[in-house]
Amino acid sequence: MSWLATRLATLLPQTPAALRGQLAACARPVQLDKGQPLLRAGTRWRHLWLLESGALRLYYLDRHGAEWNKNFAFEGQALWPLTPTLRDGPVDFFIAALEPARLHALAMDDIQPLLAGQPDWQLLQQQALQQLLDEKLWREHLFLQCDAASRYRALRAARPAWCERIPLRHQASWLGITDVSLSRLRAAWPPASP
* pLDDT by 10s per residue, the chain, length 194: 599 999 999 999 999 999 999 999 999 999 999 999 999 999 999 999 999 999 999 999 999 998 999 999 999 999 999 998 999 999 999 999 999 999 999 999 999 999 999 999 999 999 999 999 999 999 999 999 999 999 999 999 999 999 899 999 999 999 999 989 998 988 887 654 44
Rg of the Cα atoms in the chain = 18
Characterize the bridge pairing of strands 67-74 and 47-61. Answer: antiparallel
Judge contact between 56 and 95, C-beta under 8 A. Answer: yes
Q: What's the gap between Cα 104 and its chain centre?
A: 14
pLDDT of residue 186: 87
Judge contact between 12 and 118, C-beta under 8 A. Answer: yes
Distance CA 127, CA 121 (A): 10
Distance CA 18, CA 146 (A): 49
pLDDT of residue 194: 46
Q: Is 115 exposed, middle or buried (0-12, 13-18, 19+ CB in 10 A)?
A: buried
* Domain 3-117 indexed as CATH 3.40.190.170: no
At 50 the three-state DSSP class reads strand
